[in-house]
């Protein structure tokens, strides 16, 4: 092989090796590049939501009017109802939780209503699900349903086996005519009633009481200590991508000394959703109401938000 040909071959080999190294580096580095880009987008969205949250709370406190410029990327969406909701799609799991988790607080803005039932009565005729001759504990009590109404149920508590522990409870419209498979369960089981899921959280083995958790209710915070606007997030797997959901929900704060409550009512009329592009978010205080609620003063600020 002549010297000139040898130089050409060497150059081709070196170029091939360099291209291979670059390609390998790209393949291995691409996930890191994508993760960095996804994290940057999520951090930017979180910062926007915090700024909007602060502007809304400031408007409620001072009556000021605010305008915020927001830039949304491809696959990003912002929706405003009684909360601020943001969603996007990422290639890498940036938010790892599949259930809602707080980002700027130690707790969620809501909780499930916990009802304690003292089963200090008895119901001898509720024998269709009992397998022992022990006393069948009983109480009639109302539960709040998810649609805002309440209904009275028969709570029946008994032993399934000849032991010293009460371990089976039922929630029925009529304790004398129960469906054992749908009305009853052990501790930890769920029972569906009129579209609301109730969990048997705790069964006292003496048969004296049980605890049931049901509909979702607001978890009030402490004025001067807790956040009014809580940011929560979760993700949903979509094959090779992740759907990321971030929300800001507002809750009531209670004065620890007076017991008075302040509340924020977020509303939106027209221009309540935005996708990719530049947008202006306008925040105005529409008014304020004061009333008594369960013996304490409640001040509610009505905040109107519009996406222009």
How many helices, marked H, and strands, marked E, lie in the chain?
2, 21
Average of per-residue pLDDT across 292-302: 92
Cα–Cα distance for residue pair 182/128, rounded to 1 Å: 13
pLDDT at position 38, please? 74
Nearest Cα residue to 245 out of 101, 111, 110, 104: 101
Cα–Cα distance for residue pair 232/100, rounded to 1 Å: 6
Torsion over CA: 12, 13, 18, 21 (sign): positive
pLDDT at position 246, please? 96
Asked if pLDDT for residue 23 goes beyond 70, the answer is: no
Percentage of the chain surpassing pLDDT 90?
Answer: 67
Percentage of the chain surpassing pLDDT 70?
Answer: 88
Cα–Cα distance for residue pair 83/78, rounded to 1 Å: 11
Average of per-residue pLDDT across 100-127: 92
Cα–Cα distance for residue pair 36/33, rounded to 1 Å: 5
Asked if pLDDT for residue 10 goes beyond 70, the answer is: no
234 band by pLDDT with thresholds 50, 70 and 90: very high
Asked if pLDDT for residue 185 goes beyond 50, the answer is: yes
pLDDT at position 129, please? 83
pLDDT in tens, 37-63: 778 889 999 999 999 999 999 999 999
Cα–Cα distance for residue pair 24/303, rounded to 1 Å: 54
Average of per-residue pLDDT across 228-233: 96
pLDDT in tens, 241-283: 899 999 999 999 999 999 999 999 999 988 899 999 999 999 9
Asked if pLDDT for residue 79 goes beyond 70, the answer is: yes
44 backbone dihedrals φ, ψ, rounded to 5°? -65, -40
Distances (CA, A) of 261 to 252, 258, 266, 287: 7, 9, 16, 17
Q: Which residues have C-beta within 8 Å of that of residue 283, sequence separation ≥ 6?
A: 52, 55, 56, 59, 65, 66, 67, 68, 303, 304, 305
pTM over 0.85: no
27 band by pLDDT with thresholds 50, 70 and 90: very low
Strands 121-122 and 137-144: antiparallel
By CB atoms closer than 10 A (0-12, 13-18, 19+), residue 167 is middle
Average of per-residue pLDDT across 222-240: 93
């Amino acid at each position: 092989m002549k010297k000139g040909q040898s130089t050409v071959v060497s150059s081709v080999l070196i170029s091939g090796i360099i291209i291979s190294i670059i390609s390998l580096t790209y393949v291995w580095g691409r996930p890191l590049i994508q993760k960095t880009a996804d994290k940057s987008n999520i951090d930017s969205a979180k910062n926007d939501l915090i700024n909007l949250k602060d502007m809304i709370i400031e408007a409620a406190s001072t009556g000021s009017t605010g305008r915020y410029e927001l830039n949304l990327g491809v696959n990003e969406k912002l929706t405003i109802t009684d909360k601020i909701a943001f969603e996007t799609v990422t290639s890498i799991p940036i938010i790892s939780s599949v259930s809602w988790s707080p980002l700027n607080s130690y707790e969620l803005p809501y909780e499930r209503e916990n009802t304690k039932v003292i089963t200090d009565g008895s119901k001898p005729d509720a024998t269709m699900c009992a397998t022992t001759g022990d006393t069948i504990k009983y109480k009639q009590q109302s539960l709040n349903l998810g649609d805002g109404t309440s209904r009275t149920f028969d709570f029946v508590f008994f032993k399934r086996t000849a032991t010293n522990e009460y371990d089976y409870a039922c929630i029925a419209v009529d304790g004398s005519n129960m469906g054992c498979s749908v009305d009853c369960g052990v501790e930890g089981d769920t029972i569906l009633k009129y579209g609301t899921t109730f969990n048997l959280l705790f069964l006292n083995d003496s048969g004296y009481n049980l605890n049931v958790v049901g509909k979702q209710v607001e978890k009030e915070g402490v004025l001067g200590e807790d956040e009014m606007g809580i940011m929560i997030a979760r993700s949903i797997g979509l094959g090779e991508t992740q759907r990321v959901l971030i929300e800001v929900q507002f809750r009531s704060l209670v004065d620890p000394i007076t017991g008075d409550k302040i509340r924020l009512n977020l509303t939106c009329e027209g221009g309540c959703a935005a996708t990719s592009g530049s947008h202006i978010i306008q925040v105005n205080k529409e008014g304020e109401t004061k009333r008594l609620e369960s013996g304490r003063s409640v001040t509610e600020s009505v905040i109107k938000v519009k996406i222009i």
